[in-house]
Amino acid sequence: MDFAYGAEDEAFRQELTDWLDEHLPPFLAEWSEDDAGPSGRDAGGAAGVLSQMERRRAWQRELAAGRWAAIGWPAEWGGRDATVTQNVIYSETMARYRTPGIYNANGLWQIGPMIIRWGTDEQKQRWVPNILDAVDHWCQGFSEPEAGSDLANLRTLAVRDGDHYVLDGQKTWCSSAHLARWGLFLVRTDPDAIAEGRKHDGITALIIDLETPGITVRPIRDVTGDEMFCDVFFDGARIPVSDRLGGEGEGWLVAMGTLGSERVGTAGLAIGMRSDLDAMVSLARSVNPGALDDPALRARVADAHTRIEYTKLLNYRALSKILRNEKNWPEVPLAKLQWSYLAQTLAELAVDLLGPAALAAKGAEHAVDGGAWTRLYVFQRYTSIGAGTTEVQKNIIADKALKMPRR
């Protein structure tokens, strides 16, 4: 199979690498890397955001100034109208350079594209520059206590009252909502739809100011001790109808576009994982040198290398189908499953390679890398849930790819 890129794509890659070579070193020299995770990579998730908000904001603004923050956006909104192939090149290149985290991932990758696609001219003018320039942090509120994997079962109620919706209900697992000023939320505007067997109908997308009276954001402390996720409670909160994204009852369409955006750029994950694997092997040589003499551990390292390469090729296969206008089943759910498996496998391999000290928590006398690998080991359990649970992905593969009977 030919994985060569065309001349236009190679020119795009060269422009990006030239820009990074010029701008990244002075940025790293100016801003500390206190939120660096394993192998010096910027700490993932809200933990990094909490510790280095201003660093991430500065990096996003640096990217935006060069039109590298949101390359898939239209040029008129600060993007580059990048193709799917160029998005893959971008993802891989940023991973290879191990660039800092950005301030507003939810906004840039998910919510911003949806506002550009579904929003009115007034909404675009109001919120798109806000997202691009890292003015405010944004979150996403979809899941509920009774609507996680079965998202269409959501029940947060929005009752129309003149030019406002009155909201009552609860959202959960909202990433970084305690840091956010704005969020994109799905609510139920037709309460009869579930009972009538049409639960995908009657769902509406609202852009919500989290400082609105009647809204309470409560951080959830996870097993790592971090507060990455939040519960969001609505108690009679009044949201302007003018802040609705798309038409009433079109929320499911908006949501599917948002979740699709969440899965773009996964090719870069394989390169990031390869860097992490190389880093843990290099570190093991100094902190636990005997580990690499163990044939079982050496075999696990080799297996991890193989699976990382498989993941990269799986993403390329999905890309080739997109370019041929074919449905990329089962590559998308397979890639998600493989990412979840690899993330957990690498974390488990790390603590075995690095020895007992790898399990020492942050602040412990003998902690390796300040306890970063311990946190990674615990935190990566979430990958079975994030961006689509493992069980749901398997059901999708069984249904769409294997055509297995439902009963």
Helix 267-287 vs helix 331-354: crossing angle, to nearest 10: 10
Question: 330: which DSSP letter?
Answer: T
* Contact by Cβ (8 Å): 172, 152: no
- DSSP letters for 127-150: HHHHHHTT-S-EEEE--BTTBSSS
The tokens 């935190």 sit on which residue? 379
Non-local CB neighbours of 350 within 8 Å, separated by 6+ positions = 38, 276, 280, 358, 373, 376, 377
**What does each C-alpha distance from 388 to 151, 273, 396, 397, 400 come to in angstroms?**
10, 20, 10, 13, 16
Cα–Cα distance measured from residue 111 to residue 151, given in angstroms and rounded to the nearest whole number: 17
The residue from 262, 326, 348, 365 that is catalytic is 262
Give strand ranges (E) for 38-181. 138-141, 157-161, 164-175
Question: 204: which DSSP letter?
Answer: E
User: HSE (CB half, 13 Å, CA atoms) of 264?
Assistant: 24
Region of residue 134 (left: phi > 0; alpha: psi -120 to 50; beta: else): left
Give the residue from 231, 172, 234 showing the smallest Cα distance to 209.
Answer: 234
Non-local CB neighbours of 241 within 8 Å, separated by 6+ positions = 160, 163, 164, 165
The three-point CA angle 379-104-236 to 5° equals: 90
- According to DSSP, the residues that pair with 170 across neighbouring strands are 233
* Structural tokens at position 70: 């949101």
Catalytic-residue membership of 262: yes
**What does each C-alpha distance from 76 to 124, 143, 168, 277 come to in angstroms?**
11, 33, 37, 40
Give the residue from 279, 276, 335 showing the smallest Cα distance to 311.
Answer: 335
User: HSE (CB half, 13 Å, CA atoms) of 52?
Assistant: 22
Residues composing the chain: 407
Cα–Cα distance measured from residue 249 to residue 202, given in angstroms and rounded to the nearest whole number: 4
Give me the active site residues, please. 262
